[in-house]
Amino acid sequence: MESFARPAGNVTGFSLIEPSVIGKLLEMLKKFAPGISRVGMVYNPDNPIAATYVRSFEAIATQFSVQPVSLPIHNLTDVERSIASLASQPNAGVLFPPDLTIVPIRTEISALLVRHRIPGIFTYSIFAAAGGLASYGADILAMFRSSAAYVDRILRGEKPAELPIQLPTVYRFVINLRTAKSLGLELHPQLLATADEVIE
């Protein structure tokens, strides 16, 4: 692949990989809990893109006055151990970059964070629906709708190499107000007003 703008060959499409989202997750997390000073990032090191997210996380953490803590995991047992370790010191928060490893255990992870009273933010909205405090990430449904237009263009004869790879342009911010109350967080009305969806 030459570049996202000119992928060449038979490659094109839509990508959810956007390392800059890590900075936005940290920014949002600090709005929920301004006093946090240590933030863990849960990720599967076997995910090829994980190293990119880790570098982005470590580079941006100082701008938000937080100590970055890498929390590599492979399963729920690893997540439980990592969250317990993070909770052993005060003023902790946690963020979760995109990773399919954690999707099947989202309900358990959300309950774990409430039990340890750690605010966490995710990239997939299904986590907020499963009891997570909040999510901020690409609108996957919007990307699927856009991809249909690409399929149509290719079927009509356009070459994939001439269609740029698209990065996310539409993001969704979801807050679970019930979870915020369970964590003892008082959310500013302005923060609630910026959400695309508030789960009560």
Domain assignment of residue 16, yes or no: no
- Taking the C-alpha atoms of residue 102 and residue 92, their distance in angstroms, rounded to an integer, is 20
In the predicted structure, residue 101 carries a pLDDT above the cut 70: yes
CATH number at residue 88: 3.40.50.2300
Position 13 scores a pLDDT of 62
* Residue 26 counted as domain residue: yes
Is residue 179 a part of any domain in this protein? yes
Does some domain include residue 42?
A: yes
Domain count along the chain: 1
**Is 7 among the domain residues?**
no
Q: What angle do CA 99, 96, 80 make, to 5 degrees?
A: 95
Residue 178 lies in a domain: yes
Per-residue pLDDT tens digits for 6-23 = 565 666 665 666 778 899
Phi, psi angle pair for 68, to nearest 5°? -80, 135
* Predicted confidence (pLDDT) per residue in 127-136, tens digit: 999 999 999 9
- pLDDT, residue 138, reads 82
Is the pLDDT confidence value at 4 over 90? no
Indicate if the pLDDT at residue 143 is higher than 80: no
pLDDT in tens, 15-58: 666 778 899 999 999 999 999 999 999 999 999 999 999 999 99
Q: Is the pLDDT of residue 79 over 80?
A: yes
Mean model confidence pLDDT for the chain: 89
Distances (CA, A) of 140 to 51, 131, 137: 23, 19, 8
**92 inside domain:** yes
Q: In what order do the strands lie in the sheet with 171-176?
A: 67-72, 38-43, 92-96, 120-122, 134-138, 171-176, 197-199
Q: Distance between CA atoms of 85 and 71, rounded to whole angstroms?
A: 10
The range of the structural domain enclosing residue 32 comes to 21-139+169-199
Amino acid identity, position 56: S
Q: What is the pLDDT of residue 150?
A: 72
Q: What is the pLDDT of residue 67?
A: 97
In a domain, 150, yes or no: no
CA distances (Å), origin 117, targets 33, 89, 140:
11, 12, 29
pLDDT of 1 reads 47
151-186 confidence digits (pLDDT tens): 777 788 777 777 777 677 788 999 999 999 999 999
Query: At residue 99, what are phi and psi to the nearest 5 degrees?
Result: -165, 125
